[in-house]
Chain A
């Protein structure tokens, strides 16, 4: 019987090629999307869960209040781990971690490695990174031991057993004490080498609360006690002894929050070794997939019920010959199943093919092998089963419930309800498409705005060259050398680059209105910064060479030391001064000093945030980057000359430069991904919805062949027939536009809310989206309607 069902199903599919193609195409895409999303979601949801003790591990993060501001950080001082495990009985063990880079050398092989993990000896006991060789208890018990991953073992040692071999890391010899499996992708700690935490430098050997650079994990002996331990920790932190140790003033505090390891990736606000994932992103992904799958399922339902007209005789006959309702029902379900099975196979192929694009959108790095594992394939099959039932259910119900006698007598007539369902499905499909189109257009428009917004400085044609090692010792001579390069307009240096200033600080000012303590972002800069960045001064002047003389460290115990400052407009306003009033006034940050100039406000953070108060202070010693403005006339040549200048002076460090506008673009990485995701989703949904419509129009015209023939004989022209066929469908699409627009408006308003500087969703976007949809619909419909309108009516009428 079942064999028979599938045989019939296959023959029917072969007969209706258009119908089959549309359905298989739609469902394959829907299922492929499902599979990929599944992979992504499951990797995100199982983050770090491979550790046997995962539920007992917490990450200690720091929260402190200083100069009236509460700060949070994922890193802690060196004291947190050892002190808590001594003081609090529930804390069984701790591990402090840090990832660094350095050169690793074995015999003739030498590579720069950037995933070298420094961790306390308990590392392999607390975390379940599997050791292939070596014993978790003692692989890190001496300072000259190092563990490497299997791929590193292969890279450096090939076939040789690495254990007990000696490698040189950052200038010291280490004995390889163990080899562990490569770190899973869904691990927040990713490393290639592990050695003792105390090998980092001499500073970390001293236990201290501050100098927080290290990520500390604690192993608790009871999962349920996290809140209790946190309370004990913070009671301890507020004792006088600790407060004194941490040099906390009145009103300040230092405390620690314990984040369960499994919550770090998706729920924590604080990034650790890597940026965290986002639950919102997962939700958006899942919703989009479901929407696309729904469009495909709606196509199936619509086409199958539309097709029922041509299947009516068959169903009637089957029933007369003894088929029960159940048997007819299952026949139609097996048809849906057949289509789904074929689609599933194609979906698997599509996802294998498109995995690189998917990685691009999600920023993940899935491999094809991961896709073809039993679990994703099994889940895909599960999904297909659900889809085949969902898609087949309604047509199967409708067809199996129809009355035999009425079918045989007058053919199957789709009832009013059926028609209503079909219309609602079309409206639903197009509403989803229109929604996605509008939303995508608005994201793209905002991104354009972000790109073209006047930031208050010129981000184009600026090369950033990182300052490394002892380059600061020759700061001036290197700077002068760069200035000589042809095509270079000016050179300056700073701690951070202006697109994103992170350094937070505070200033003190006093005037006739009283004292002002204001939190600011601060930026140590060199001479020529304002000029090089193309910023504008609204009052006063930029730093000049003679200003260095103010910073007098030679005379009398720094008593004469004066720090020259520039401030931005917002800071002047915050203090209560006009730009001109501010010039020459004294404020204090590292030291007292005069304000020499007021800079016109510029964006030193992403457009998500408003422009805050900013302080520049003249100091070369903090410089981490040379900032070089080039003319842009012959970028390639200028870069080559810069490189040869670099190599002639700093031959031991590679010349790796980046452009400021690229750094700026990187601020909007996640928005760019969103816009890519939505563009793809919108494109797919429109394509699928139109394909479905294409199929439906074909069927509707078959049904109306005779009517069209008669109308033509009676004198209807091409236009009349086109209108006749298109009208009903077009009305549905217009309704869809009307339904989708308010939702899209609301959603995009919400999305834009995240930006302080943003566009307003404009009416034109909605009009464009609506028009595009209507035009695409018209094109879709016109193929069949033109064909029908041009057909010879005699043929249509003769068939009776």
Chain B
């Protein structure tokens, strides 16, 4: 159970804003093992989202080393990098980011389409997922017809459909009320028990407490673990 999933070694991220060089992430050292549930905490602008995006390979570190499943991500080409994240990482967003034109079923199915999975298999996988999340009755509805909590449920189902090793969730309950929040966090907890590694960014102490490990960020640096 203690296999190393990813490690960051003095990872930094800087951007040029006009003539100033702004450091978003500074000298981050972090090891994540499979099966962990990590909560990233910190005030707005402390670098939580940036760190998540860089780990998710949507963005990249500008310095330092990043190893994912033993592969050196920092020296990879863009193409291999996206292949890697598409296979192993699922994303959950604060604003859900469901596609408005697609039904619940189709939203969940989309990642499978991009993986060129056969139609019959897709059907089975999506049906399983709907079943697991108890949203079979909602499968033909469009996102606007769902409550926020239900939308996020679909978002999570969609992130899980590709059987990722790692789920990255950026403020997954940020737009939800407390009852819905609790439900979503319970779900994450359950998923984690089923073996999925989770890294979430959050403002709320209460949500952070679901994690097995809390990392505090301030001004791009890890200040406390």
Contact = CB atoms under 8 A, between A and B. Distances in A.
A702 to B, nearest CB: 15
Chain A interface mostly helix, strand, loop or mixed? helix
Greatest chain B CB density within 10 A among A8, A317, A318 is at A317
Interface string A298-333: 000000000000000110111011111001000000
B116 interface: yes
A224 interface: no
Interface string A397-424: 0000000110010000000000000000
Nearest to A9: B101
Contacts of A327: 114
Interface in B99-120: 99-102, 106, 110-111, 113-116
Interface of A: 1, 4, 8, 11-12, 15, 313-314, 316-318, 320-324, 327, 404-405, 408
Interface residues of B, number: 23
Nearest to A4: B113
Interface string B13-51: 000000000000000000000000000000000000000
B101 A321 contact: no
Given A318-B110, A322-B86, A408 B58 contact: yes
B99 A318 contact: yes
Given A320-B58, A321-B158, A404-B58, A8 B102 contact: yes
Contacts of B68: none
B140 interface: no
Contacts of B58: 320, 404-405, 408
A3 B82 CA distance: 25
27 contacts: A1-B116, A4-B106, A4-B113, A8-B101, A11-B102, A12-B101, A313-B95, A317-B97, A318-B110, A320-B58, A320-B91, A320-B97, A321-B91, A321-B111, A321-B162, A322-B111, A322-B115, A322-B162, A324-B82, A327-B114, A404-B58, A405-B53, A405-B58, A405-B59, A408-B58, A408-B93, A408-B97
Interface of B: 53, 58-59, 82, 86, 91, 93, 95, 97-102, 106, 110-111, 113-116, 158, 162
A400 to B, nearest CB: 13
Given A1-B116, A320-B91, A327-B114, A314 B59 contact: no
Nearest to B98: A317
Contacts, number: 48
Given A404-B58, A405-B59, A408-B93, A321 B100 contact: no
Contacts of B106: 4
A553 B162 CA distance: 113
B114 A323 contact: yes
When A and B form their complex, which 6 residue pairs have the shortest distance between CB atoms, in order from nearest? A322-B114, A322-B86, A321-B111, A11-B101, A317-B97, A405-B58
Given A4-B113, A321-B91, A327-B114, 18 more contacts: A1-B113, A1-B116, A4-B106, A15-B101, A316-B97, A317-B97, A318-B99, A320-B97, A321-B111, A321-B158, A322-B114, A322-B115, A322-B162, A324-B114, A405-B58, A405-B59, A408-B93, A408-B97
A318 B58 CA distance: 13
Contacts of A318: 99, 110, 114
Contacts of A15: 101
Nearest to A3: B119
B96 to A, nearest CB: 9
A320 B95 CA distance: 14
Nearest to B54: A405
Contacts of B115: 322
A321 B90 CA distance: 8
A758 to B, nearest CB: 58
Nearest to B114: A322
B118 to A, nearest CB: 11
A58 to B, nearest CB: 63
Contact of B100 (A1, A4, A314, A320): A314
A327 B110 CA distance: 12
A76 B106 CA distance: 78
Contacts of A4: 106, 113
A327 to B, nearest CB: 6
A214 B58 CA distance: 82
Nearest to A1: B113
Contacts of B110: 318, 321
A178 to B, nearest CB: 64
